[in-house]
Amino acid sequence: MSLLEFCIFYIVVPLVKVVVVLTAVSLWIAMLILAERKVIGWIQVRMGPIRVGFRGLLQPFADLFKLLAKEDLNPTQVNKFIFFIAPILCFVPAFTAFAVIPWGPESKFWGTVWNWIFGVLGLDIEIGPVPYYISDVNIGILFILAISSLGIFGILLGGWASNSKYPLLGGLRSAAQMISYEVPLGFAVVGALMMAGSLSMVKIIESQQAFGWSFLWIQPLGFFLYYVAMVAETNRLPFDLPEAENELVAGFHTEYSGLKFMFFFFAEYANIVLVSAVATTLFLGGWLPPFHGFISEDSFLYMIPAPLWFVGKICFLLYSFLWVRGTFPRYRYDQLMRLGWKWFIPLAIVNVLCIGLNIIIRKQAGWPEIAMIPLGIAEIVIIAVFVYAWWVIRGKKDESYYKAII
Amino acid sequence: MSRITKLLYKFLLIDLIKGLSVTQRYFFAKRFTSQYPKERLEVKSRVDDKNRWNEEGRYRGFIMLRLDPDSGEELCTGCGLCMRACPDDCITVENEKRPEGKKRRHKTFVLDFQRCMFCDLCVEACPTQALYTSDIYEMAVYDRKDLVHDLDTLYKGPEVKRYKK
């Protein structure tokens, strides 16, 4: 491989992909912000923003310019350096993690496009199929978990550096919440990883393709745990304790304004897209068409480009975020902690155990893959029976207390 | 509900799904917002300027003076009963003799909407039904002086400025 080929394959092509993905994700986030205001408006029988552009389509850009034009305010009591660096700490990891999101498989089409561009430029090189994803790290999911956890430092430091009561409380709460919900989130991910047998995001989807089923059908409990944990991770309603408006003004970003606030805002929405993308990869079958086990390979559903399926599934999850926000009231802080520690962590551990058992039983008995679904259902029933038994035993002692738990 | 059903409700998250379905229904419902300067909702007063009774009308808007619908002459006799009925003391009436006929008529009629609370007592007090509450609700002005209306505007109604934005 010549130096030119090396430069083009490992620098130019990935850089182009990085630029495309970053631009697309930023635009997507802008549209998500608009969609949130619209959907919440519609749920509340309002109209949402309709003034800027066609039916308010340019509203996020108007917001952006407003935030850019605002004075960059530094309160006198803040720790200047940390106050400055906290939004960046929040923003950068949220976008970094998009590097390993598998938007689609290797595509011959883009390979041809690149080859055509090389031909036009008069270069004598050939490139094979170009994948849609930027990179396929063999510890992809671990990378995402590690990077997205870094974003919490931004929230924490922002809350602390503001040197004010509300941000400090918001930062504390967010720290506690992240620690509580990172554990069930991790365990829920482990369930999917055991099925896939790999940490690479691409391999996880490929294993679902080979398996014939999305992991959602085999471990609905795992998906449910992951879903609730991811809502809690991104500080969204009904778990938005760190920025509860009627308690903490705006939580950790109370003292922030202008561009710095925008960084926090964008990071929050980038994180929402990110966790939805991870959920899609792990449980919903990624770029594969829905119900891919049931339809044949030459079905028209396979004609639609893979990234569209991926984005569509993420959009579905994003809509569910907004829907849940428009429906449920906020949890009380102790209820949040109880739910996390007393229900989700035990359930997540039991879920991992059950999936392990499931895999072993199936392999030992030599049953086909489809046997995992009845086995999974049986496990959920067993869990339910155990929880019910526990309920009955403990409920006799002090019913009112345990009623308050749920 | 038996204990098992309760448990099933909790495990299958029935209550949460019920809540979600309610919001989803409202998501597709007709929007309630009316874009005010563009679309103006109709309000109905109880009587119109021809003294016709409106069964559904309940709105008490700008208080206006009425002409006799048949003969077209002024109904107000300037008796000052509305002035005395007004709890806010915002009506000032003076009367004079009419050029023809026995009746008297108003010389000045000043209604100060700065203090008026649209209680309708002046309308009820009026023996000739010269006063009525109309359906006009766009009375906002930039100057407090403009809220003091006299005979010119009390017959025509206030000048409604239509702003573009």
Q: Decide if A326 and B23 are in contact by the 8 Å CB cutoff.
A: yes
Contacts of B24 in chain A (CB under 8 A): 323
Give just the sign of the alpha carbon dihedral A112, A113, A119, A124. Answer: negative
- Neighbouring CB atoms inside 10 A of B104's CB total 14
Least CB–CB distance from B10: residue in A323, A328, A406: A406
Q: Residue A175: which of A146, A155, A145, A148 has the closest Cα?
A: A155
Chain A interface disruption, residue of B4, B20, B21, B23, most A CBs within 10 A: B23
Burial of A141 (0-12, 13-18, 19+ CB in 10 A): buried
Most confident of A2-16, B10-24, B78-92: B78-92
How many residues are present in chain B? 165
pLDDT (0 to 100) of residue A402: 53
**Conformation bin of residue A128: beta by default, left when phi > 0, alpha when psi is -120 to 50:** beta
How far off is chain B from A157, nearest CA to CA, in Å?
35
- Tell me how far apart the alpha carbons of residues B94 and B107 are, in angstroms, rounded to a whole number: 5
Contacts of B27 in chain A (CB under 8 A): 39, 42-43, 323, 326
Q: Once rounded to an integer, what is the mean pLDDT over residues A384-390? A: 76
Least CB–CB distance from A328: residue in B19, B26, B33: B19
Contacts of A39 in chain B (CB under 8 A): 27
Contacts of A406 in chain B (CB under 8 A): 10
Contacts of B23 in chain A (CB under 8 A): 43, 323, 326-327
**Helix, strand, coil % in chain A, rounded to nearest 5:** 75, 0, 25
Q: Decide if B7 and A388 are in contact by the 8 Å CB cutoff.
A: yes
Q: Decide if A43 and B27 are in contact by the 8 Å CB cutoff.
A: yes
Q: Decide if B27 and A42 are in contact by the 8 Å CB cutoff.
A: yes
Least CB–CB distance from A45: residue in B10, B19, B29: B29
Q: Decide if B20 and A391 are in contact by the 8 Å CB cutoff.
A: no
Place of tokens 């938007």: A103
pLDDT at A401 over 70: no
Q: Decide if B26 and A406 are in contact by the 8 Å CB cutoff.
A: no
Residue type, B71: S
- Tell me how far apart the alpha carbons of residues A358 and A362 are, in angstroms, rounded to a whole number: 6
Contacts of B2 in chain A (CB under 8 A): none
- Tell me how far apart the alpha carbons of residues B100 and B73 are, in angstroms, rounded to a whole number: 11
pLDDT (0 to 100) of residue A319: 92
Let me know: does A121 contact A1? Beta carbons within 8 Å.
Answer: no
How far off is chain B from A60, nearest CA to CA, in Å?
21
How far off is chain B from A147, nearest CA to CA, in Å?
32
What token pair was written down for A136?
Answer: 């396929």
- Neighbouring CB atoms inside 10 A of B128's CB total 14
Q: Count contacts between A and B (CB, < 8 Å).
A: 38
Most confident of A71-75, B14-18, B51-55: B14-18
Confidence of residue A150 (pLDDT cuts 50, 70, 90): confident
pLDDT, mean over chain A: 83
What percentage of chain A exceeds 90 in pLDDT? 6
Pick the residue from chain B with its C-alpha nearest to A324. B20
Let me know: does B41 contact B70? Beta carbons within 8 Å.
Answer: no
- In the sheet that holds B91-97, the strands lie side by side as B91-97, B104-112, B148-149
Least CB–CB distance from B31: residue in A46, A388, A406: A46
Q: Decide if A326 and B7 are in contact by the 8 Å CB cutoff.
A: no
How far off is chain B from A325, nearest CA to CA, in Å?
10
Chain B residues whose C-beta is within 8 A of a chain A C-beta are 7, 10-11, 16, 19-20, 22-24, 26-33
Q: Decide if B31 and A328 are in contact by the 8 Å CB cutoff.
A: no
Summarised one tens digit per residue, pLDDT across range A103-145 is 888 877 777 888 888 888 877 777 777 788 888 888 888 898 8
Summarised one tens digit per residue, pLDDT across range A307-339 is 888 899 999 999 998 999 888 888 888 888 888
Summarised one tens digit per residue, pLDDT across range B69-88 is 788 788 888 888 888 899 98
